[in-house]
Structure 1
Amino acid sequence: MQADETQAMNQLQSEQSRLLDKIDELRTIGVGGFVELPQLVVVGAQSSGKSSVLEAVSRVSFPTKSNVCTRFATEVVLRRSPTVKMKVLIEPGASRTNAEERQRIRDFTPDSFSNTSDLPNLIDQAKQRMGITDNMHGFSDDVLKVEISGPDKPELTLVDLPGLYISESEEQGAEGIRIVRELTERYMENNRSIILAVISAKVDYHLQNVLNIAKQFDPKRERTMGIITQPDRLERDSEEEENYIRYVRNEKVSLNLGWHVLKNRSYEDRMASHDVRDEQERVFFDQGRWASLSREFVGVDSLRRRLSNVLLKHVRRNLPDLIADIQRQIEVRQKHLERLGPARSTTQEQRGYLLAICSNFERIVGQALNGMYEVEFFRASNSQESDSNNSQDFRRLRAIIRELNECFAEAMEIRGHRRCIAGTTHDVPPTDSKVLSQPYMEGWTPIKISRKKLESEVSEQAKRDRGIEMPGSPNQLLVGSLFRDQSQPWEMLARQHLLQCWESVKYFVGLILQHLTDEHTHSLLYGAVLLPELERMKAHLMEKLNELASHTKRGHPLPVGSSFLARIQKSRTKRQLSSLKSNLGRSSDSIQLTMDDLTRALSALDLSRDQFAAADIIDQMQAYYDTAIITFVDNIATLAVENCLLAPLGQIFTNQTVNAMDENQLKDLAAEPPFVHEDRCRLTNELGKLQAGLQTFSVLGTVPRSMSRPPAFRKNLAPVILSSTIPP
């Protein structure tokens, strides 16, 4: 039975080591610069006992003088192995941008050693390689990596950060306060960091703000563990001692990962062995109030086990999301490299680069105009070109143009007539806030006029404009004059609509280039090739508008077809019946009338012949207006938008365009500037790191542990269990 337990423990430790080694491998090859990696981060104020915690957990004495661990982050890698072995490496920080300098830092690879007394000397050598001296006031973003393996080492990786401080001195200035705080917050901000907040019992808890800083980034206290040091500095049976015991019991400040307490070496015992140190700690916690605490939360032995279990569970829990993050970062860089295109130093390569872009451009434009949104461009994120108040996707051009055409037709119906004539088809229609908020309704205020007042105006105008018409007949030119006055808004609305469509097309073209090319090529192609073509299309649109609107500003109405006559007849009949009923003084259709009643009513009609002439002019104008507005709206949508804007769009950047370019044009547009070459090299390097990082997980069996049938076909069956090397 004991042999089985030993075998199970060895298997667990082996798996634990493999998982943590893979995370360390990601950090070593640089994946940590692109995705957040799971880690244990040791944070606390200076002199809070952070170094003592590391020393107790690792059983290795770290240097505690000359501010060794206060100028840079130290990554401590602990692994279990039959033999003792140590190694010191340096990972250059992001601030070192010079390639030779970064390589010089990485070249610090002294031989591994087994004597722990050599560690301080190696760390001093590493400091010199990083350019850190005892007189240095600043901090470095290089990471010192100390790998320690041995039979008594736990499976752990910890990152020790410089200690926080708030007071300036000759050695540590105000700038250091800011740098250490920012470095600490950067590590805490990583959602995959377990925060080990070290609190010294010799200082009042309320004077130590490390947990307050941690709460900013872990508000639910889900990934923070508190570690109390120097409990022997408290007065035995004092109120302060009771308070810290309550912290350990998770009663004062509740943390999801709980608390732990360690006893540090005293100054007198600083040279004692690790075994002696551990024995003194056990004796201390077996006395007084500390004996009432569960052994799970006191002492370094249980802390090693707790940290190993916490880190292992944390890595398991984050592994699927970590792999997904790496895959996303790979896709981002692959797409960026696709936009940069292949290297292009020769004329042939430059022409081929542009031909590939224009081929994709034509395909995207064709699908957009046909409303067949199949290529990847239409599936791309729309977050850059939309905000919370505007969910329109300008990539789907046909949908945008159709919506604009509908808005234009609706606006023409509502505000196409200059004056709203009460009681007619030109009256103010009922509109809701949605209609009034559409782009062509902005600033509209209806001008209202009654039918009676308009008839009076027309009568006066008819008297002034009498010509050679027969007595009792109106001058037919009045119909054209009244129509031109009433249709004044048409050209303004049409111009607004065409410019809106053109702007949408212009933006759509920019989105295509943004998708297909890098920023440098985008700006060159857009400015030199596409924008001039778009401006010509805009000028053609305005010419077409002038042509379509010219007849509404001059000339005489010339209706064609029976619809105009039908509208006139309907309006006349309705108006005459209404007037006859008014003269009869009857409102009901079922009352019997005598011939005398009809004679009097008809006589009254004859007496108001001038009024009826004015009314007839208004009827003719409205009948022609209602017929002409339909034709005008259709012409704007087809002859202008379709023929002058959308149809030429697929021809503005084609193979013929590229093939017609000379060598100088090709060089200006497609030659690769130095920064593009640098971007390609950088992206290729980052992509290689990420792909290597993804490859490190291939041996871990990252297939999901169970698969269920799809909901539509699910039966009451047990899930299929798949084999995996990762325990739940």
Structure 2
Amino acid sequence: MQADETQAINQLQSEHSRLLDKIDELRTIGVGGFVELPQLVVVGAQSSGKSSVLEAVSRVSFPTKSNVCTRFATEVVLRRSSTVRLKVVIEPGASRTDAEERQRIRDFTPDSFSNTGDLPDLIEQAKERMGITDSMHGFSDDVLKVEISGPDKPELTLVDLPGLYISESEEQGAEGIRIVRELTERYMENNRSIILAVISAKVDYHLQNVLNIAKQFDPKRERTMGIITQPDRLERDSEEEENYIRYVRNEKVPLNLGWHVLKNRSYEDRMASHDVRDEQERTFFNQGRWASLSREFVGVDSLRRRLSNVLLKHVRRNLPGLVADIQRQIEVRQKQLERLGPARSSAQEQRGYLLAICSSFERIVGQALNGTYTGDFFGGFNSLENDSNNSQDFRRLRAIVRELNECFAEAMEIRGHRRCIVGTTHDAPTADSKVLSQPYMEGWTPIKISRKKMESEVSEQAKNDRGIEFPGSPNQLLVGSLFRDQSQPWEMLARQHLLQCWESVKYFIGLILQHLTDEHTHSLLYGAVLLPELERMKTHLMEKLNELTFHTKRGHPLPVGPSFLARIQKSRAKRQLSSLKGNLGQNSMMGSVQLTMDDLTRALSALDLSRDQFAAADIIDQMQAYYDTAIITFVDNIATLAVENCLLAPLERIFTNQTVNVMDENQLKDLAAEPPFVHEDRCRLADELGKLQAGLQTFSVLGTEPRSMSRPPAFPSRPPNLPSTSKPEFTISMAHEENSHPCKCVRQD
């Protein structure tokens, strides 16, 4: 039976050691710089007894002169083995940015020692390598790693942090207060850290703020254990002693992991052996009120067991999430490396890099022009949901251009004419608030003029421009002149529209490059290849605009087809009927009326007497009829001959395989050669990826699965009151209450 029990204990210790070794291996590899690792962190104020706790647990004496352990974090790795072995290594901190300096620190590998008394010498050598001297007043973010193996060592890994302090001294300045606090908080905020908060019984509890700091990062007190030191400094049977006993019983400040109490060596006993120290501690806790406490919460022997069990459970609990975090970090770096592309030092590699970019570029442009937004570049449904800066998704280029064309057509209808003739069958539409928010509705609005005043102006101008036409007949040249005056805004609106489309295309191109390349390559390709092509397209757009507006500025109206005549006849008939009614005095009468022949004769004679006015009205009607026909043609021409032919169609040809294939080696080098920082980024990412993959590999022997595989997925069960063959029916009810959803579905059972 005893042999079986011993075997079970050995198996448990072996599993414990294996798990902790894997976590330590992650730290050694460097995975701790990318994901949070499970660990025990010893924190407390200076002179709180932190070093004594570490010595009692490890049974190894650490150097005390010069406050060496207050200058940097010390990671203590304890492992059970048949032989005693010591090893000290240094992990350079983030503040050491020079690669050679970091390597010099890492190269500190003194020979292993078998005598624990050699530890002070090893640490002194490490101090020298880190550049820490007895006269140094600052702190270092390097981590000193001390590995201790022996038959009496527990399976533990602890991180001892510099002691907190609030008062300056000759040795420790104000800057050190901040550095130590930040270092302590950085370890505490790791959600996988177990916080061992050391409290000295010789100092009033309320003057020690280590638990308050811990609560900032562990508000539910789930991963904090309190350790009370120096209980022998309390007056026997005093109120203070009773208070600290209540802390140990977890009554005063309840902690999920509870409390523990240790007796430190006194100054007189500082040279006593570890066995003597442990025996003195057992004697102390078997006396007075301390004897009433459970042995589980007093003494270093039970503390070793508690810490080993706490750490083992903590590692087991966090292992699935830790593996999942490593996998996520691997995916992030793989994507970053993929975006950087393969290394490209030769011309062939550089050409291949650009060919891959232009191939994806052509594909995305084709999808955007055809309105097939299915690739990763375009995002998913509600792709702008988290983008508060943009109300339009410029990745969907076809949708953007269509909306701009519609805005242009609407602006032409509302603002395309220089003057708005009021009191006519051709009254122009007015702009509502929604229309006014569109991109082409800023600036001036058409000048309003009455039909009567317009006819007077035209009649006066007709007299000045009389030629060989018959009396009462309209001057066709005047029709053209009036049309050119009325269509003056066309060119301005069209130019505004074309430039807006061009800017949208330009921004779209930038988004593609941002998606496909790094910032450096983006800038080079855009400036050297794509921007010149875009500028040429802009020039062609303006040339096409001049071509399309040439006739409106200098040509003569040449209507084609029956629609123009139909418009003229319709306008003329309406105008004559309106005048006839006015002459008969019937404008306000409804229904049928009786008229004599004399009434009709007088009314028709009145029409004949105003032939000049009739000619002016006819000129306006002809101009308006031609304007209504020409504006539709002009808007269509701008959308097709300019936007489509001169802007969108060439877009698929501005960066193709042919573009890359004709580049010489100098061009390839200028565009695709890696700058030093890209090479450094690739090396850094590859190094980090290698560390993370190696870290993931360390768990393969444990058969560890990520959190998502730790239990089967939930499977929806059918509601008990819903038959298996029935389908829920829904009706739509409109909600008008304030803060209600505009539409809700109600199932009809």
Which piece of structure 1 moves more, 614-623 or 237-246? 237-246
Larger mean CA deviation between 423-432 and 482-491 belongs to: 423-432
1:535 positional shift: 1.5
Contact kept? 2:51, 2:62, Cα under 8 Å:
yes
Range with greater deviation from structure 2 (280-289 or 186-195): 280-289
8 A contact 2:37–2:322 mirrored in 1: yes
Q: Report the CA distance between 1:165 and its aligned residue.
A: 2.7
* Distance of 1:726 and 1:4 partners within structure 2: 62
Change (3 A) 1:724 1:404: closer
The CA deviation string for residues 649-689 of structure 1, in whole angstroms up to 9 with x for no partner, is 22223333333233333333344444444443333322221
Q: 1:696 maps to which residue?
A: 698
**C-alpha offsets along residues 214-233 of structure 1, whole Å, 9 cap, x if unaligned?**
55555666655554444554
Q: Quick one: structure 1 residues 404 and 35, their matched pair in 2 at CA, closer, same or farther if it must change by over 3 Å?
A: farther
Residue 297 to residue 356, structure 1, CA distance change in 2 (3 Å): same
Output the CA distance in 1 between the equivalents of 2:157 and 2:130: 22
* Deviates further, 130-139 or 464-473: 464-473
Change (3 A) 1:457 1:214: farther
Q: 1:692 to 1:711 in 2, by over 3 A?
A: closer
2:66 counterpart SS class: coil
Task: Give the corresponding residue for 1:437.
Answer: 437
Out of 605, 608, 618, the residue aligned to residue 606 of structure 1 is 608
Change (3 A) 1:229 1:441: farther
1:472-507 Cα offsets, whole Å, 9 max, x none, are 444444544444444333333322332232223223
Secondary structure, aligned partner of 1:413: helix
Shift of 1:145: 0.9
647, 650, 654: which is aligned to 1:645?
647
Q: CA deviation at 1:138?
A: 2.5
Q: Deviations over 1:106-154 (max 9, x none)?
A: 3333444454333222222222222221112222222111223455544
Asked whether the equivalents of residues 455 and 613 of structure 2 are also in contact (C-alpha less than 8 Å), the reply is yes
Deviations 1:544-574 (A, max 9, x none): 1222233333323333334444545555556
Q: Are the equivalent residues in 1 in contact too, given 2:413–2:428 (CA < 8 A)? A: no
SS in 1 for 2:388: coil
The 8 Å contact of residues 336 and 518 in structure 1, kept in 2 or not, is answered as no
TM-score, L = length of structure 2: 0.80
| 1:675-720 alpha-carbon deviations (Å, 9 max, x no partner) | 444443333322221221222232333446787999998xxxxx99
Relative to structure 1, is the Cα distance of residues 92 and 636 closer, same or farther in structure 2, using a 3 angstrom cutoff? same
My pick for the range that moved more, 465-474 or 501-510, is 465-474
Change in Cα spacing, 1:528 to 1:598, as seen in structure 2 (3 Å) is same
Structure 2 residue matching 1:121: 3-state secondary structure = helix
Does the C-alpha gap of structure 1 residues 680 and 578 become closer, same or farther in structure 2, counting only changes over 3 Å?
same
User: Do the aligned partners of 2:87 and 2:112 also contact (CA within 8 Å) in 1?
Assistant: yes
Q: How many residues align?
A: 721
Choose 532-541 or 380-389, whichever is displaced more: 380-389
Distance 1:555 1:206 in 2: 94
Equivalent residues of 1:708, 1:720 under 8 A apart:
no
Alpha-carbon spacing, 1:685–1:703, altered in 2? closer, same or farther (3 Å): closer
SS in 2 for 1:163: coil
How far off is 1:538 after superposition?
Answer: 1.5
Aligned equivalents of 2:179 and 2:58: distance in 1?
A: 27
- Within 2, Cα distance between the matches of 1:380 and 1:710? 29
Deviations for 1:268-322, whole angstroms, at most 9, x for unmatched residues?
4434455555566566667777778777666555655554455445545544444
Cα distance, 1:31 vs. partner?
1.9
- Alpha-carbon spacing, 1:464–1:297, altered in 2? closer, same or farther (3 Å): farther
Which secondary structure state, in structure 1, belongs to the residue aligned with residue 179 of structure 2?
Answer: helix
Describe the shift of the 1:354–1:707 C-alpha distance in structure 2 as closer, same or farther (beyond 3 A): closer
The alpha-carbon deviation at position 211 of structure 1 amounts to 4.7
What are the superposed Cα offsets for residues 379-403 of structure 1, whole Å, 9 maximum, x if unpaired? 5999999842315443443333334
Which residue number corresponds to residue 79 of structure 2?
79
User: Contact conserved, 2:323 with 2:706, CA < 8 A, in 1?
Assistant: no
Larger deviation: 135-144 or 315-324? 315-324
TM-aligned CA deviation for residue 75 of structure 1: 1.4
Q: How far apart are the structure 1 equivalents of 2:541 and 2:329?
A: 44
> In the aligned structure 1, how far is the partner of 2:473 from the partner of 2:272?
124
- SS of 1:471's equivalent in the other structure is coil
Pair 565,163 (structure 1): closer, same or farther in 2 beyond 3 Å: farther
Asked if 1 retains the 8 angstrom alpha-carbon contact of 2:353 and 2:672, the reply is yes
CA distance in 2, matches of 1:418, 1:255: 81
Which deviates more from structure 2 when the two are superposed, residues 355-364 or residues 206-215? 206-215
Deviations 1:517-550 (A, max 9, x none): 4444333333222222221112111211222233
Larger deviation, residues 450-459 vs 367-376 = 450-459
Which residue of the partner structure matches residue 288 of structure 2?
288
Once the two structures are TM-superposed, the CA of residue 37 in structure 1 deviates from its matched residue by: 2.9
How much has 1:265 moved relative to structure 2?
A: 3.8
For 1:716, the equivalent position in structure 2 comes to none
1: CA distance, partners of 2:241 / 2:56? 22
Contact 1:440 1:496 in 2 (8 A): yes
Per mean C-alpha deviation after superposition, the further-off stretch among 381-390 and 540-549 is 381-390
**Structure of larger gyration radius:** 2
SS in 1 for 2:544: helix
Asked whether the 8 Å contact 1:700–1:725 carries over to 2, the reply is no
1: CA distance, partners of 2:206 / 2:437: 56
RMSD: 5.8
- CA deviations over 1:315-371 (Å, ceiling 9, x no partner): 455444443443343334334434444444444444444334333333333333333
**2 CA distance for matches of 1:608 and 1:146?**
113
Contact 1:701/1:724 (CA < 8 Å) preserved in 2?
Answer: no
Q: Matches of 1:286 and 1:152 in 2, distance apart?
A: 24
The separation in 2 between residues aligned to 1:248 and 1:605, in whole angstroms, is: 115
Does the CA contact (< 8 Å) of 1:386 and 1:393 recur in 2? no
Match of 1:660 among 662, 672, 677: 662
Contact 1:705 1:724 in 2 (8 A): no
The alpha-carbon deviation at position 28 of structure 1 amounts to: 0.9
Query: Residue 323 of structure 2 contacts residue 705 of structure 2 at CA under 8 Å; is this kept in 1?
Result: no
- Distance (whole Å) between structure 1 residues aligned to residue 583 and residue 223 of structure 2: 90
Deviations 1:413-471 (A, max 9, x none): 44444455557798686766654444334556676556566556555555655555444
Larger deviation, residues 314-323 vs 139-148: 314-323
Task: Give ranges in structure 2 of 5+ residues lacking alignment.
Answer: 729-749
* Farther off after superposition, 506-515 or 530-539: 506-515
Match in the other structure for 1:365:
365
> Whole-Å Cα distance in 2 between the matches of residues 30 and 720 of structure 1?
56
Flag the 1:705–1:182 CA change in 2: closer, same or farther, 3 A: closer
Task: Write out aligned runs for 1:542-561 (5 A).
Answer: 542-561=542-561
**1:151 aligned to 2:154?**
no
- Measured at CA, do residues 289 and 367 of structure 1 come closer, stay the same or move farther in structure 2, by a change above 3 Å? farther
Moved more, 528-537 or 484-493: 484-493
Q: What is the percent sequence identity of the aligned residues?
A: 92
Does 2:713 align with 1:711? Answer: yes
For the 8 Å contact 1:223–1:257, the answer to whether it is kept is yes
Deviates more, 1:424-433 or 1:504-513: 424-433
For structure 1, which segment, 632-641 or 204-213, has the greater mean C-alpha deviation from structure 2 after superposition?
A: 204-213
